Structure 1
Amino acid sequence: MAASKRGDSGLAGLINAVGFVLAAVLVVNALLVLLNVSTDVEVVQLIGNLSEWLTLWWPGLIPTDNETLQVLVDHGVAALFWVVVAAILARAFG
Protein backbone atom coordinates (compact mmCIF):
# COMPACT_ATOMS: atom_id res chain seq x y z
CA MET A 1 0.00 0.00 0.00
CA ALA A 2 1.31 3.44 -0.92
CA ALA A 3 1.80 6.00 1.82
CA SER A 4 -0.53 8.96 1.48
CA LYS A 5 0.87 12.45 1.25
CA ARG A 6 -0.11 15.17 3.69
CA GLY A 7 -3.11 17.15 2.41
CA ASP A 8 -4.18 14.25 0.21
CA SER A 9 -7.30 13.43 2.23
CA GLY A 10 -10.89 13.89 1.25
CA LEU A 11 -11.39 16.35 4.09
CA ALA A 12 -8.71 18.66 2.69
CA GLY A 13 -10.36 18.54 -0.72
CA LEU A 14 -13.75 19.31 0.80
CA ILE A 15 -12.39 22.28 2.76
CA ASN A 16 -10.68 23.64 -0.36
CA ALA A 17 -13.90 23.17 -2.36
CA VAL A 18 -15.93 25.10 0.21
CA GLY A 19 -13.38 27.93 0.16
CA PHE A 20 -13.51 28.00 -3.63
CA VAL A 21 -17.33 28.14 -3.65
CA LEU A 22 -17.36 31.01 -1.15
CA ALA A 23 -14.82 32.92 -3.23
CA ALA A 24 -16.78 32.15 -6.41
CA VAL A 25 -19.95 33.67 -4.92
CA LEU A 26 -18.03 36.88 -4.25
CA VAL A 27 -16.52 36.95 -7.75
CA VAL A 28 -19.91 36.30 -9.38
CA ASN A 29 -21.49 39.12 -7.40
CA ALA A 30 -18.67 41.47 -8.38
CA LEU A 31 -19.26 40.56 -12.03
CA LEU A 32 -23.00 41.14 -11.66
CA VAL A 33 -22.33 44.59 -10.22
CA LEU A 34 -19.78 45.32 -12.93
CA LEU A 35 -22.29 44.33 -15.64
CA ASN A 36 -25.11 46.31 -13.98
CA VAL A 37 -27.42 43.29 -13.78
CA SER A 38 -30.87 44.10 -12.41
CA THR A 39 -31.39 43.14 -8.78
CA ASP A 40 -35.05 42.30 -9.47
CA VAL A 41 -34.08 38.70 -10.25
CA GLU A 42 -34.22 36.45 -7.18
CA VAL A 43 -30.97 34.65 -7.98
CA VAL A 44 -29.14 37.97 -8.22
CA GLN A 45 -30.65 39.03 -4.88
CA LEU A 46 -29.57 35.74 -3.30
CA ILE A 47 -26.01 36.10 -4.57
CA GLY A 48 -25.94 39.71 -3.39
CA ASN A 49 -27.16 38.78 0.09
CA LEU A 50 -24.66 35.93 0.36
CA SER A 51 -21.82 38.15 -0.77
CA GLU A 52 -22.75 40.83 1.78
CA TRP A 53 -22.41 38.23 4.50
CA LEU A 54 -19.19 36.75 3.06
CA THR A 55 -17.35 40.07 2.82
CA LEU A 56 -17.31 40.19 6.64
CA TRP A 57 -15.31 43.27 7.72
CA TRP A 58 -13.64 43.96 4.35
CA PRO A 59 -16.06 46.56 2.87
CA GLY A 60 -14.48 50.01 2.98
CA LEU A 61 -11.17 48.77 4.37
CA ILE A 62 -9.46 50.08 1.22
CA PRO A 63 -11.46 53.19 0.26
CA THR A 64 -11.93 54.21 -3.38
CA ASP A 65 -13.89 57.03 -5.00
CA ASN A 66 -15.62 54.83 -7.59
CA GLU A 67 -18.54 52.73 -6.33
CA THR A 68 -17.97 49.90 -8.84
CA LEU A 69 -14.26 49.78 -8.09
CA GLN A 70 -15.09 49.68 -4.37
CA VAL A 71 -17.21 46.56 -4.87
CA LEU A 72 -14.46 44.93 -6.92
CA VAL A 73 -11.81 45.69 -4.29
CA ASP A 74 -13.99 44.64 -1.34
CA HIS A 75 -15.11 41.40 -2.95
CA GLY A 76 -11.66 40.63 -4.34
CA VAL A 77 -10.00 40.97 -0.95
CA ALA A 78 -12.75 38.91 0.71
CA ALA A 79 -12.47 36.18 -1.97
CA LEU A 80 -8.72 36.03 -1.44
CA PHE A 81 -9.33 35.79 2.31
CA TRP A 82 -11.67 32.79 1.93
CA VAL A 83 -9.25 30.98 -0.38
CA VAL A 84 -6.35 31.51 2.02
CA VAL A 85 -8.39 30.49 5.08
CA ALA A 86 -9.58 27.34 3.28
CA ALA A 87 -6.02 26.48 2.28
CA ILE A 88 -4.78 26.91 5.85
CA LEU A 89 -7.63 24.82 7.26
CA ALA A 90 -7.14 22.12 4.60
CA ARG A 91 -3.47 21.95 5.46
CA ALA A 92 -4.21 21.76 9.20
CA PHE A 93 -7.02 19.20 9.04
CA GLY A 94 -6.12 17.34 5.86
Structure 2
Amino acid sequence: MAQHAESDRSGKSAGATRAQVVGIVAGVVRWIGLLITLILVVHVLLTVGSANPDNGITSFFADWAEPLALGFKDLFTPSDPKLLVLVNYGIAALFWLIVSSVLARIIRRFA
Protein backbone atom coordinates (compact mmCIF):
# COMPACT_ATOMS: atom_id res chain seq x y z
CA MET A 1 0.00 0.00 0.00
CA ALA A 2 2.81 2.41 0.88
CA GLN A 3 4.52 1.56 -2.39
CA HIS A 4 1.36 2.47 -4.33
CA ALA A 5 1.10 5.87 -2.59
CA GLU A 6 4.77 6.52 -3.30
CA SER A 7 4.39 5.75 -7.01
CA ASP A 8 1.35 8.06 -7.17
CA ARG A 9 3.41 10.90 -5.70
CA SER A 10 6.32 10.31 -8.08
CA GLY A 11 3.87 10.18 -11.02
CA LYS A 12 2.32 13.48 -9.98
CA SER A 13 5.76 14.97 -9.47
CA ALA A 14 6.90 13.80 -12.92
CA GLY A 15 3.72 15.21 -14.46
CA ALA A 16 4.23 18.55 -12.76
CA THR A 17 7.87 18.66 -13.86
CA ARG A 18 6.89 17.78 -17.41
CA ALA A 19 4.22 20.51 -17.44
CA GLN A 20 6.76 23.01 -16.12
CA VAL A 21 9.33 22.09 -18.80
CA VAL A 22 6.70 22.26 -21.53
CA GLY A 23 5.64 25.68 -20.27
CA ILE A 24 9.23 26.90 -20.35
CA VAL A 25 9.82 25.57 -23.88
CA ALA A 26 6.58 27.15 -25.12
CA GLY A 27 7.57 30.43 -23.47
CA VAL A 28 11.01 30.37 -25.09
CA VAL A 29 9.46 29.73 -28.51
CA ARG A 30 7.09 32.65 -27.98
CA TRP A 31 9.88 35.02 -26.85
CA ILE A 32 12.08 34.07 -29.81
CA GLY A 33 9.18 34.85 -32.15
CA LEU A 34 8.62 38.19 -30.43
CA LEU A 35 12.32 39.06 -30.67
CA ILE A 36 12.40 38.25 -34.40
CA THR A 37 9.23 40.31 -34.89
CA LEU A 38 10.79 43.22 -33.00
CA ILE A 39 13.92 43.14 -35.17
CA LEU A 40 11.84 43.20 -38.35
CA VAL A 41 9.55 45.98 -37.11
CA VAL A 42 12.47 48.16 -36.01
CA HIS A 43 14.07 47.64 -39.44
CA VAL A 44 10.82 48.73 -41.10
CA LEU A 45 10.53 51.80 -38.87
CA LEU A 46 14.13 52.84 -39.48
CA THR A 47 13.78 52.39 -43.24
CA VAL A 48 10.43 54.16 -43.56
CA GLY A 49 11.69 56.89 -41.25
CA SER A 50 14.71 57.47 -43.54
CA ALA A 51 17.32 56.56 -40.93
CA ASN A 52 20.92 56.90 -42.04
CA PRO A 53 21.82 53.50 -43.57
CA ASP A 54 25.49 54.00 -42.56
CA ASN A 55 24.56 54.35 -38.88
CA GLY A 56 25.56 51.35 -36.74
CA ILE A 57 22.10 50.85 -35.28
CA THR A 58 20.41 51.00 -38.67
CA SER A 59 22.89 48.60 -40.25
CA PHE A 60 22.63 46.25 -37.26
CA PHE A 61 18.86 45.89 -37.69
CA ALA A 62 19.13 45.69 -41.49
CA ASP A 63 21.75 42.94 -41.24
CA TRP A 64 19.65 40.91 -38.81
CA ALA A 65 16.35 41.52 -40.60
CA GLU A 66 17.64 40.31 -43.96
CA PRO A 67 17.81 36.56 -43.16
CA LEU A 68 14.80 36.71 -40.82
CA ALA A 69 12.53 37.96 -43.61
CA LEU A 70 12.86 34.54 -45.27
CA GLY A 71 11.12 34.42 -48.66
CA PHE A 72 9.04 37.50 -47.91
CA LYS A 73 11.75 40.08 -48.67
CA ASP A 74 10.95 40.04 -52.39
CA LEU A 75 7.34 38.89 -52.30
CA PHE A 76 6.06 42.22 -53.61
CA THR A 77 8.15 44.52 -55.79
CA PRO A 78 6.80 48.07 -55.63
CA SER A 79 9.03 50.72 -57.18
CA ASP A 80 9.32 52.69 -53.91
CA PRO A 81 12.06 51.05 -51.78
CA LYS A 82 10.42 52.20 -48.54
CA LEU A 83 7.11 50.64 -49.52
CA LEU A 84 8.96 47.44 -50.48
CA VAL A 85 10.46 47.17 -46.99
CA LEU A 86 7.21 48.16 -45.29
CA VAL A 87 5.12 45.55 -47.07
CA ASN A 88 7.54 42.64 -47.34
CA TYR A 89 9.25 42.91 -43.96
CA GLY A 90 5.93 43.79 -42.34
CA ILE A 91 4.43 40.56 -43.68
CA ALA A 92 7.49 38.67 -42.42
CA ALA A 93 7.00 40.20 -38.96
CA LEU A 94 3.35 39.10 -38.93
CA PHE A 95 4.39 35.64 -40.10
CA TRP A 96 6.85 35.22 -37.21
CA LEU A 97 4.35 36.58 -34.70
CA ILE A 98 1.62 34.17 -35.82
CA VAL A 99 3.88 31.13 -36.27
CA SER A 100 5.54 31.50 -32.87
CA SER A 101 2.17 31.94 -31.18
CA VAL A 102 0.65 28.89 -32.88
CA LEU A 103 3.77 26.81 -32.23
CA ALA A 104 3.74 27.73 -28.54
CA ARG A 105 0.08 26.70 -28.30
CA ILE A 106 0.79 23.41 -30.06
CA ILE A 107 3.67 22.69 -27.70
CA ARG A 108 1.48 23.38 -24.67
CA ARG A 109 -1.42 21.31 -26.00
CA PHE A 110 0.36 18.19 -27.26
CA ALA A 111 3.31 17.87 -24.95
Shorter-chain-normalised TM-score: which range?
Answer: 0.7 to 0.9
Mapped to 2, the partners of 1:44 and 1:12 lie a distance apart of: 31
Identity, in percent, stands at 30
Q: CA RMSD in A?
A: 2.2
- 1:92 Cα deviation after fit: 2.0
Structure 2 residue runs of 5 or longer lacking an equivalent are 1-15
Deviations 1:38-89 (A, max 9, x none): 1222222111011011111112212323221111001111001111111122
Structure number with the bigger relative contact order (C-alpha 8 A, sep ≥ 6) is: 1
Tell me the amino acid that sits aligned with residue 80 of structure 1: L
Mapped to 2, the partners of 1:74 and 1:37 lie a distance apart of: 18
Aligned to 1:89: 103
Tell me the amino acid that sits aligned with residue 23 of structure 1: T
TM-score (norm 2): 0.71
Mapped to 2, the partners of 1:63 and 1:40 lie a distance apart of: 24
Aligned to 2:77: 63
Aligned to 2:24: 10
Structure ID, larger Rg: 2
TM-score (norm 1): 0.83
Over 6 Å off, 4+ runs? none
Mapped to 2, the partners of 1:60 and 1:38 lie a distance apart of: 22
Moved more, 42-51 or 25-34: 42-51
What number of residue pairs does the alignment pair up?
Answer: 91
> Greater share of helix residues, 1 or 2?
2
